Structure 1
Amino acid sequence: MVRADAAVNIKVLQNAMAAHFGFSPTYRRVWMAKQKAVAVIYGDWDESYNELPRWVLGVQLTMPGTVAVLRTCPVRVGGQVDDSQAFRHCKPLVSIDGTHLYGKYGGTLLVAIAQDGNSNILPVAFALVEGENAESWSFFLSHLREHVTPQPGLLVISDRHNGIKAALEAPDGGWLPPAAYRAFCIRHVAANFALTFKEKDARRLLVNAAYAKTEVEFDYWFDILRSENPAMCDWANRIEYSLWTQHCDEGRRFGHMTTNISECVNSILKGVRNLPVCSLVKATYGRLAELFVRKGREAEAQMGTGQQFSQYLVKCIEANLRTARHFTVTVYDRDNSEYTVAETTPTGSFSLGTYRVSLGSKTCDCGYFQALHFPCPHALACCAYSRLTWQPYVHEVYRLSSVFGVYQMGFAPPIPEGFWPPYPGPTVIPDPSMRRAREGRPRSTRIRTNMDEADPNRPKRCGLCRQPGHTRRSCPQAAGPSRTAANQ
């Protein structure tokens, strides 16, 4: 069962033991047995640490340009030291986050995630560290800046962790404006907000204000928030607007208000977080190779059809064109492409407002043009009125050539273990202090917040197999494989 799914639930294993062998071992005993099974399948937990540097050297031989940085701490005995590249074609932003490891040894996997112009999620950097603190984030972000994201004007989206704050604000880190900018995930901001203010709809009003693309829209939601409780606005005003609102981000977010793309990768890697460290790295490398092959083929197939832009952009433009049929355009400055656009209802009986559009500066009063970097319905109406094509007003990242550029690099298969080069560095062993407690049931290290509350509209899932339609009590896996076979 562990070979089929390394993340198999301990309760499932307990029930399988009871069904097959007629006795029920304790949770701790099954947990320890699972760790031994993982070691048999994927390699010894302790030796895996020393195996990793040689495997990485093998990858660097087959994949020139691969960057891997290994920093170790010296072993202390009795207080004494014992001496025994792709991202440039993506949107200019990265989402960073950390996720816990759940094997024999604890630790944290730090990830930096980007997104291409076709809304594909792309992991660009990983780091295995002891935990989320200032030193770990400084190590990760310094190498991210040096090897992956050296371009100026980059945006980093993250939660409000103090370790991230310290690393990004370091004078020599390269993350200070104008070289780089920081933005907060609004889900984390709203979760912190909800800890203080329990009023109904207060959290929703704050999120609506954050998503507003214009100052007028922001003021509308903020005034409602103020009428509910002035203290809410005082709380929000203590955070710089450019860090959490979209209308003050100068278009750097490309519409990304959360770190959800990082959370998606965390869920994909959930199974490998139970493995020894070297197997974890191997599995991550293999999944990245598979991702590049699949997405590269998709982009190449779309380019073969003669398309110039990503499917995501085409869908957005088609939706905007349908809306733009009900606009009346007036030209104010043809040389500088300055217009006003009057929006009405489909019947033309009611006015929905007038917007100023500048094709030259790629701006519109609605805020969508400058926030998402492709023409909004008002800008498309201006293009149609002046017989201009809308393609020049689209950011380069949405072109299929850019999307294909992300995945044009191929991964080489790692060389077999017998051909790994010798590693001249120190012998690498796990930090004993990172080992999980030997006694008692293992405790989750996740810090639960309001974001962990269940969505009332989401279908309920079984606590064992995580499938909808039944509960833990009626789960087919509750009595092990024998009961499942009988039900079938």
Structure 2
Amino acid sequence: MERVKKKVVLRRRDVCVISDRHKGIISVMNNLELGCTIKVARKLPITALVKSIFYKVVTYFDQRRLEIENQCVDGNEFTHHANKMLNRWKERSSGHHVKLFDRDSWVFTVTTMKRGQKGGNEQIVRLMEGICTCNKWQTFHIPCSHVLACCVKQNLEYKSLVSEWYRLDNARKVYGSAFEPLPDEDAWPLFDKFPMMVPDIENISNKPERKKEARYKNEMDFQVSGRNKGTSSSGASSRIP
């Protein structure tokens, strides 16, 4: 397992490799809801572990469905995360200065308000192309403060610029699937088609002694013995001061 952990893992969200250093696994383990459950369930047998995680996922989906329904009842159109970002960027957009360059293609320049050592920057917004030079709009797919300032300047609707990913209708579909209860273990169907795992005989050592090291040694592995010094093949002194 230690050799697997040392493998290089690409930091991609859609790729997960068995390694405790992967970004996706670290984020799940740091999650207060799922992480604590997985840490506790690791001490259980495999069947109990799978059941514990399964029931936790069922509870999590039910809570998320209830939260989304409550947000819809309150009249929200987007998720809580999207509304939080929009409200924060609306406050910032009130201090921006907007200048229209091309009315046909909706090209603007937005100058931010100077706040201490920050601000005073000039960004270019192209509404028709969905581009802002701050790259926040392209990254989060939510109109940034510069885009919101342009929409307010020209009395344009900004909700159509928010990605469909953040709409509650689509969020409801994500957690809309239902889970089937697990039957008792005695009612589980038998499955006898598991692959047979045969160990490699060549890698099995019957000798009790330590395996011979296959690495070639060089001059850095040896230390010349001298006065008050021991000799060690690893380069370290064998005497403790």
TM-score, normalising length: structure 1: 0.35
* Between structures 1 and 2, the one with greater helix share: 1
Alpha-carbon spacing, 1:402–1:344, altered in 2? closer, same or farther (3 Å)? same
CA 1:322 to 1:304, structure 2 compared with 1: closer, same or farther past 3 Å?
A: same
AA in 2 matched with 1:268: T
Residue 33 of structure 2 corresponds to residue 261 of structure 1? no
**Shift of residue 383 of structure 1?**
0.7
Q: Which of the pair has more CA radius of gyration?
A: 2
Please say if residues 326 and 346 of structure 1, whose CA atoms lie closer than 8 Å, have aligned partners that are also in contact: no
What's the counterpart of residue 60 of structure 2?
291
Counterpart selection for 2:123 from 333, 338, 355 = 355
In structure 2, C-alpha distance between the alignment counterparts of 1:271 and 1:132, rounded to whole Å: 25
Residue in 2 aligned with 1:274? 43
AA matched with 2:74: T
Task: Tell me which residue corresponds to 2:91.
Answer: 322
Q: What's the CA shift for 1:312?
A: 1.2
Q: 1:427 to 1:358 in 2, by over 3 A?
A: closer
**SS of structure 2 residue aligned to 1:295:** helix
Residues 119-173 of structure 1 show CA distances to partners (whole Å, capped at 9, x for unaligned) of: xxxxxxxxxxx7874xxxxxxxxxxxxxxxxxxxxxxxxx9943x45xx9xxxxx
| C-alpha contact 2:37 2:53 (8 A) present in aligned 1 | no
Q: Does 1:345 align with 2:114?
A: yes
CA 1:372 to 1:426, structure 2 compared with 1: closer, same or farther past 3 Å?
Answer: closer
Q: Distance in 1 between matches of 2:41 and 2:70?
A: 31
Query: 3-state DSSP class of the match of 1:375?
Result: coil
| Structure-1 separation of matches of 2:195 and 2:141 | 50
More strand by proportion, 1 or 2? 1
- Give unpaired runs (5+ residues) of structure 2: 16-20, 200-241
1:351 shift after superposition: 6.9
SS in 2 for 1:268: helix
- Superposition deviation, residue 406 in structure 1: 1.1
In the alignment, what sits opposite 1:383?
Answer: 151
- Relative to structure 1, is the Cα distance of residues 267 and 401 closer, same or farther in structure 2, using a 3 angstrom cutoff? same
What do residues 25-76 of structure 1 show as CA deviations (whole Å, max 9, x unaligned)? xxxxxxxxxxxxxxxxxxxxxxxxxxxxxxxxxxxxxxxxxxxxxxxxxxxx
* Alpha-carbon distance change, 353 to 408 in structure 1, aligned in 2, over 3 angstroms: same
5+ long unaligned stretches in structure 1? 1-129, 134-158, 169-174, 183-187, 190-257, 432-488
CA deviation after TM superposition for structure 1 residue 267, in Å: 3.9
Superposed CA deviations along residues 314-356 of structure 1, whole A, max 9, x for unmatched, are 1111111111111111111222221001122379xx9712110
For residue 219 of structure 2, what is the aligned residue in structure 1? Answer: none
1:364-375 counterparts in 2 under 5 A?
364-375=132-143
Q: Could you say which structure has the greater relative contact order, defined with CA pairs below 8 angstroms and 6 or more residues apart?
A: 1
Contact 1:293–1:410 (CA under 8 A) maintained in structure 2: no
Residues 342, 355 of structure 1: 8 Å contact kept: yes
Where 1:297 maps in the other structure, the secondary structure is helix
The 1:285–1:405 alpha-carbon spacing in structure 2 relative to 1, beyond 3 Å, is same
Number of residue equivalences? 189
**What is the one-letter code of the residue matched to 2:193?**
G
TM-score, reference length from structure 2: 0.67
Amino acid at match of 2:75: G
